[in-house]
């Protein structure tokens, strides 16, 4: 089970893999207020620190994670882990968009669970 991360932990450079030692398939990556630097080294981030997903992932990002097939639209560089809303690279940074992305991610999670 994931534990809560305080703002102080985020600012002090605690990495996600120290807090979440095993991200399991079909988890949704959600970190408030675009505090995603703690995910560096755990998930692929763009130059601004947003989480890269689906078609934004480079061949190098996919090779590093040993992807067996192309990722789903909102799937991160870690197979089975999804990102939606403000933390995702290329998102519109609007609540309505995040809700829609969440709905898409749920459908993808169900598909991953059935694979």
Closest CA to 4 of 28, 20, 17: 20
H-assigned helices in the chain: 7-11, 16-19, 59-64, 95-114
Distance separating alpha carbons of residues 89 and 109, to the nearest angstrom: 19
Question: Encoding tokens for residue 17?
Answer: 């893999």
46-88, pLDDT tens digit by residue? Answer: 998 899 999 999 999 998 888 888 899 999 998 889 999 888 9
Domain range list for the chain:
7-114
pLDDT value for 86: 85
Give the whole-number percent of the chain exceeding pLDDT 70.
70
Give the whole-number percent of the chain exceeding pLDDT 90.
25
pLDDT value for 98: 84
pLDDT value for 48: 87
pLDDT value for 32: 41
């Amino acid at each position: 089970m994931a534990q809560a991360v305080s703002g102080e932990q985020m600012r002090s450079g605690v990495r996600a893999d120290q807090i979440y030692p095993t991200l399991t398939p079909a988890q949704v990556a959600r970190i408030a207020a675009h505090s995603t630097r703690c995910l560096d080294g755990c998930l692929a981030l763009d130059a601004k620190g947003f989480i890269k997903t689906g078609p934004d992932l480079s061949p190098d990002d996919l090779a590093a994670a040993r992807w067996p097939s192309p990722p789903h639209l909102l799937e991160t560089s870690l197979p089975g882990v999804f990102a939606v809303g403000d933390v995702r690279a290329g998102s519109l940074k609007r609540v309505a968009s995040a809700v829609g992305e969440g709905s898409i991610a749920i459908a993808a999670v169900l598909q991953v669970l059935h694979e």
